[in-house]
Structures are given as structure tokens and as C-alpha cells.
Chains A and B, each alone.
Chain A
Amino acid sequence: MSTTLYVPNDSVAQALGADQLAAALQFHALRRGAPIRLVRNSSRGLFWQEPLLEVATPAGRVGYARVSADQVPALFEAGLLHGGAHPSCIGLVDQLDWLRRQERLTFARAGLTDPLSLDDYAEHGGWAGLRRAFELGPAGCVDEIAQSGLRGRGGAAFPAGIKWRTVADQSAAPKYVVCNADEGDSGTYSDRMAMEGDPYQLIEGMAIAAYAVGASRGYIYLRSEYPQAIAIMGQALERARQAGWLGERVAGSDLAFDIELRVGAGAYICGEESALLESLEGKRGLVRARPPLPAVRGLFGQPTLVHNVVSLATVPVIFARGAAFYADYGAGRSRGTLPIQLAGNLRTPGLVEKAFGVSLRELIEDFGGGTASGRPVKAVQIGGPLGAYLSAAQLDLPLEYETLAQHQAMVGHGGIVVFDDRADMAELARYAMHFTAIESCGKCTPCRIGAVRGRELIERMQREPGQPERAAELEALCEVMEHASLCALGGMTPYPVRSAIRLFPADFGLPRPDPAKETSDVE
């Protein structure tokens, strides 16, 4: 009787020595004549604990945190195979408060399964959504997704139901389903985690979407900075194809659908859906003017449903458990759960999937453990590099689309990056302009030129503090970029810049604003 050990195959775990740990476990188990079965599982998303070694025991899976290969002999001596006591032991993983207080739906399987095992996926509820989709029929599927209230999880938060109905209504053929896996936003990793940890869920979600809208072909556009996601997704597609979950008759049905994996080439702008479509067509990733919308004329001029990874990965659970079940989570117009990605200066960062409405303070202090440095939180950036900064005084805000919008902030992709009091907000604002200047596709002047001028302006403010007229110039430039840029890259760069100046003027060599003026601004 062998004992099952789990070592995550996730990029973070790998980057922290998981492959060497796995090799050491195999070696020392063999030397001791102790039979083990080693599973390279998905990550639990407890990233401060990685590499997280787990051992299957009668009581459940026992975890050992931050394990390195050189600790393996001592672990075996401590009775590893029986869940023995050791300084790195964190007890039963399922019982950790950090996990129990979550509401994982999209990431329900995180840490439990071997990502590439079709059997594991099926045993943990996989393909149930697809089977129910076939029962509902294409029109029923579109209704179901609309009733679930799912909004795109890639940043724009567009209602999925409207997109599906629009594509379904087009009579042109062929139609495409495109998965935007070009998640390049700093502080976000849920797409990577979904693809590396639960690839069949994404495949199932794409198949359901294809069935609903009448598409015969899917593409996954995956960024090149994610080598492990590329490797795992590629293998999963091959296995799914061989098992009949992709191909001429998906799961024996009338649906003909297959998916091709394409790798991006380092352009952040290709996370914008029309630039992504240009790139899939083999062109420079220039942003297209709208209309026509991709749903009407997208990839190769055909109706195309474009969704982010997490949006598509959430589709199977909605169908498996019903739209009402999913819609019941959340608050107001923010329905369902959101995978929140804690990052930056935090003691216990990781993936927290919660219904909308959880407060930032709970996420940062309770889940995130406060700053890793122990210093006070100064600023928090939500929604990636184009997200606005919030100050420590705003942490009681709920993570919710409408409320954050009222404070000139956004949920975006669900990434939260925390900075302690050493952060230089002028430098971060300069970086935002610098990043945009590098990543601009060059198509429109406000972005291409504006980002360069913005960077220069902020650099001047850094060199020569105390010039309020520079702030006025920067504000005017931000106004142009916001309203005249063709896409969100140039259009949203003003968000981190303006919020940094508004909340932290001293970092820009500016006086604090007049309290009375501040009040009138709010009104």
C-alpha cells in the first residue's frame, strides 16, 4: 500500500524548487523502500506556503509548507508518510481557515487534482456542465448564462449574456470562440492558475460557449511569459482531443469543435480583444476601431465570442449547478464570485475566491496578513497596472463594481497589489506612463505620444518639486489620453496617475489640497 504525496506543478511552486523537491522525494522514498505515489497537483493558491507538500492520510491531506529538497531526509525521519510532526507541518489543509472562509466555485478543484488527469477531472465534477448544456439546447444555454449574471472577468466586466446572444444571433459561418489568455496585468495570476491547475475546465467552458453560439473552432491566445501554462494547456488539449472531448463529435454529440493554442509574443496590448484578434490573424496587434464589434465581425471577419480565461472557466460550474445557484452569490449588480489575487507587500498572499462585496480590509489584513515588511500599508492598486490607487483610509470599501467606480477605481481582473509606506507614488505614476509608452501599439496619438510626454512631465516633477503648474499640465494630458485614446491602454493610464497625485500629492512635491476644495470636488 503506497502513500500518495502531492507536490504542486504550478509555476510559483516550480520557481521555488518544486521539481527538485519531487525528485528528492522519489529518491529518498526509493532508498527507504517506502512506496509512494507522487502526484504533481495544481496549487491551492496558498502561495506564501509554496512549495506546499501534501500527504494523504486517513484523516485527510496533511500539509508541509515551504519545503525544500534538502529537508526531505528529515521529513521522512519525522514520519512524513503518516503526517508526522515537523516544524513545516501546517496540519490538515482542508481545515485551514484561509481556505474555509472562501467561496471557491471556479477554483473549487484548486490543489485537489492532477491537472492533466481526465479521470481526476471527471471524478471531481468535470463535464457535468457540458452534459447539461446539451440538454438545454443552444438557446437555453444563452438564457442560462444571461440569468447567471456572469460579467467578463478580464477587466471590462461586460455582461456575458449579451455577448453570447449577439454572437448566437449572427447567421454568418464559421463562428469562433476566442479565449483571451494574455493576462499581462501586474498582480494578477488567476488565468495562469486556472490554465496550469484546471485546464479541462477551460476546455469545457469553451465547448459550452461554442455549442451555445454555434461556433466550430476555438483559439486560446496565451502569453509567452507563461511557459508552464503553455506546456500544460498544450498537453491537455491533446488528451481532450484523443478522449473525444474535442473534435468532430464532442462527447458523441452533434457539436463539432476543436481548439488551437496560439502563443503571444510579448505585447501587452494583445490583452485588448481587438488587438488580440489582429495578432491571431498574424498581424501587428493594432487596436481596431469599433464598430463593428467582434461579436459581429471578429476573427477573420467572422462573428467571434471573446472571453477571458476566468470567464470561460466559470461557465461549467454555472451549467453544472444552475444559473440561480451562481447568481445567488454576490451583491447588487455584481453577481457570482470573483477570484481575487493578493500580491505585492503581503505576508500571506494567494488566491481568494469570494462573493462580491468582501471589503478590501478583510482581504488585505485577514487573508493577506498585512504587509510582509510589517510596516503600515500606504497604497493599494486594484485591477492591474491601469487600476487606480487607493489609500489606507479607503480599505473599508467593498470589492464591488459599482462602489469602486464611484471612487474612481475598478475591480479589473481582481488583482490587488499592496505597497507599504516606503512606496514612492511619483515613481509609480512615472512607471505607469513608462509602461504604456513601451507597450503602446502606436496606432493612436494620445497613447503613443501622450505616454512619453507624461513620463517626461513626471520626471520633471520629480527633479523640480513644488511646481503646481506641472500638475495642471499633467491633468490636461490625462484628460486627452482618457477621452481620445482608442482603447483602454491609453484611456486608462490616467487612472493610476491621477489617483496617485490626488491621494499622495506630497510624493509629487505638491501641497495637500485645500480641505474645502476637496469637499466641493467630491460633490
Chain B
Amino acid sequence: MSTLPSPAAAPAAPHPDQAAPDKLTPLLERWRKVPGGLLPLLHEVQAAFGYVPSSTVPRIARALGLSRAEVHGVISFYHDFRSQPPAQHRLRVCQAESCQAMGSRELTAGLEQRLGCTLDQPRADGTWALESVYCLGLCAASPALMLDGQLHARVGLAQAEALIQQTEELRA
């Protein structure tokens, strides 16, 4: 049974510099005195902007009493943090061993063909990104994937293609 995914809440991206004073200030106020607050702050910045604009780095650093290099190092270290706007749709396919045992390699290859892009390299038109994820914890129902934040398990290629089709039809 295919599940209709809810469309991604893609933020209509105003220019980050324009939006930054309004969206960023309350986040900085909330986290600047919390011990170890940089990671939760970056999560909230990404939730607000869709990614972590490089223009926010100096202000984050100043608010938290860190150097820009330290903030940049954290952003680049963690796979979740993006420095560029994301694709409209993100399809994350689990690549870990349990999903491999149940055909995730073949599923991934099929999806690369269907979407016309290579794993972990977003499509040039910015519509789709096919990404590796290492374990969604759905190992007893492999293969598993996450489409725009929605989990799907026991996924064969036909079902995955149906999900993509539904997502694209919703967009049209």
C-alpha cells in the first residue's frame, strides 16, 4: 500500500540577507547563553531557512562568542547541515547492511535511473536529490527510505516509483 507523502514544506526563499534580521535574531537570543547551544541553534537556522546561509555564520559566531572558523567547522562536520539550498524533494535511501541484504543496492540503482541523477549528487535542475542515509532504524522492514521527511518501509522499486510519481503529481 503506497502512502501519499505530504509535500515538503519548501520555504519560498527570500534573500537570506533580507530575511536574516527577522528570522535569525530570536534564534540567537534563545541559544546564545545555553551551554553547547551551537548544534540546536544550527538545527533551528536550517529549519527556518532550509539551509545554513553563509551570511548567518558571522552573526552566529558573535552571538555565541565563537570564531567563524569554529562555526564553519561544525557546519561542515555534520552531514545534516547544508550550506546550499536543498532540492525541492529529498529521497533518502538507507544504504546500511540490513537494507543491502534486502535489495537496497538494486533499489538505489533503479532510483538513479528513474530520477536521472547519481546518488548523493542532486539533480542540476534542483528538483530532486537522491541521498544516502545510514540507518533509519527500520531494519526489520528493509529496504527503507525517507521521502521529504516521511518514512517508508518494505519498499520495492515499483512502490518507490509510485511515491515519486505521486509527489510529482502533487507538485503539478
Q: Do A and B come from one complex?
A: yes
Q: Which residues of A contact B (CB under 8 A)?
A: 11-12, 14-17, 20, 47-48, 50, 68-70, 183-189, 191-192, 224-229, 262-268, 279-285, 300, 341-345, 349-351, 372, 381, 385, 415, 417-420, 423, 428, 431, 435, 438-439, 441
B101 lies within 8 A of chain A by Cβ: yes
- Report how far A349 CA is from B144 CA in the complex, Å: 14
Give the number of A-B contacts (CB < 8 Å).
Answer: 160
4 A-B pairs with least C-beta separation: A186-B96, A282-B38, A47-B140, A265-B78
* Binary interface encoding of chain B residues 80-121 relative to chain A, with 1 for a CB under 8 A from any of its CBs, else 0: 110000000000000111111110000000000000000000
Most buried by B among A15, A263, A267: A15
B141 touches A47 (CB 8 A): yes
B16 lies within 8 A of chain A by Cβ: no
With A187-B98, A263-B43, A265-B43 in contact, is A284–B73 under 8 Å at CB? Answer: yes
A225 touches B101 (CB 8 A): no
A415 touches B139 (CB 8 A): yes
- Report how far A193 CA is from B139 CA in the complex, Å: 12
Segment among B7-15, B17-25, B151-159 that sits at the interface with chain A: B151-159
* Cross-chain contact of B102 among A15, A183, A191, A345 (Cβ < 8 A): A345
* Cross-chain contact of B101 among A12, A281, A345, A438 (Cβ < 8 A): A345
A262 touches B153 (CB 8 A): no
Q: B126: which A residues are within 8 A, CB to CB? A: none
B162 lies within 8 A of chain A by Cβ: no
- Report how far A184 CA is from B79 CA in the complex, Å: 13
B48 lies within 8 A of chain A by Cβ: no
Please list 21 pairs of residues, one from A and one from B, whose beta carbons are closer than 8 Å in the complex, sorted by A's number.
A11-B137, A11-B138, A47-B140, A70-B1, A183-B137, A185-B135, A188-B137, A224-B80, A226-B136, A226-B137, A227-B149, A268-B134, A280-B39, A281-B36, A282-B74, A284-B78, A285-B78, A343-B101, A420-B101, A431-B97, A441-B77
With A16-B154, A417-B97, A431-B97 known, 20 other A-B pairs at CB within 8 A are: A11-B138, A15-B153, A16-B153, A185-B135, A187-B96, A187-B139, A189-B140, A191-B137, A227-B151, A262-B40, A264-B39, A265-B42, A265-B79, A282-B39, A285-B78, A300-B35, A344-B98, A345-B101, A418-B101, A423-B101
A350 touches B140 (CB 8 A): yes
A428 touches B142 (CB 8 A): no
Most buried by A among B70, B140, B154: B140
Q: B79: which A residues are within 8 A, CB to CB? A: 265-267
Q: A263: which B residues are within 8 A, CB to CB? A: 39-40, 43
B73 touches A69 (CB 8 A): no
Task: Give the distance to chain B from A185, nearest Cβ to Cβ, in Å.
Answer: 7
- Report how far A1 CA is from B138 CA in the complex, Å: 37
Most buried by A among B37, B38, B101: B101
A344 touches B142 (CB 8 A): yes
Which single residue of chain A is at the shortest CB-CB distance from B136? A225
B135 touches A184 (CB 8 A): yes
With A69-B1, A265-B79, A343-B142 in contact, is A300–B137 under 8 Å at CB? Answer: no
With A15-B153, A385-B96 in contact, is A341–B139 under 8 Å at CB? Answer: yes
Task: Give the distance to chain A from B46, nearest Cβ to Cβ, in Å.
Answer: 9
Q: B152: which A residues are within 8 A, CB to CB? A: 15
A267 touches B78 (CB 8 A): yes
A344 touches B102 (CB 8 A): yes
Task: Give the distance to chain A from B73, nearest Cβ to Cβ, in Å.
Answer: 5
* Cross-chain contact of B137 among A70, A192, A420, A431 (Cβ < 8 A): A192
Task: Give the distance to chain A from B89, nearest Cβ to Cβ, in Å.
Answer: 17
Q: A185: which B residues are within 8 A, CB to CB? A: 135
Task: Give the distance to chain B from A410, nearest Cβ to Cβ, in Å.
Answer: 15
* Cross-chain contact of B140 among A48, A279, A441 (Cβ < 8 A): A48
Q: B64: which A residues are within 8 A, CB to CB? A: 282
B3 lies within 8 A of chain A by Cβ: yes
B137 touches A225 (CB 8 A): yes
- Report how far A487 CA is from B6 CA in the complex, Å: 40
B78 touches A341 (CB 8 A): no
* Cross-chain contact of B80 among A266, A415, A417 (Cβ < 8 A): A266
Task: Give the distance to chain B from A192, nearest Cβ to Cβ, in Å.
Answer: 4
Task: Give the distance to chain B from A500, nearest Cβ to Cβ, in Å.
Answer: 12
A189 touches B1 (CB 8 A): no
B97 touches A344 (CB 8 A): yes
* Cross-chain contact of B138 among A15, A268, A385, A438 (Cβ < 8 A): A15
With A265-B79, A439-B134 in contact, is A343–B139 under 8 Å at CB? Answer: yes
Task: Give the distance to chain B from A172, nearest Cβ to Cβ, in Å.
Answer: 16
- Report how far A91 CA is from B35 CA in the complex, Å: 52
Q: B102: which A residues are within 8 A, CB to CB? A: 344-345, 372
Which single residue of chain B is at the shortest CB-CB distance from A185? B135
B57 lies within 8 A of chain A by Cβ: no
B133 lies within 8 A of chain A by Cβ: yes
B98 touches A186 (CB 8 A): yes
* Cross-chain contact of B74 among A224, A284, A435, A439 (Cβ < 8 A): A284
Q: B101: which A residues are within 8 A, CB to CB? A: 343-345, 417-420, 423
Q: B134: which A residues are within 8 A, CB to CB? A: 184, 186, 225, 268, 385, 435, 438-439
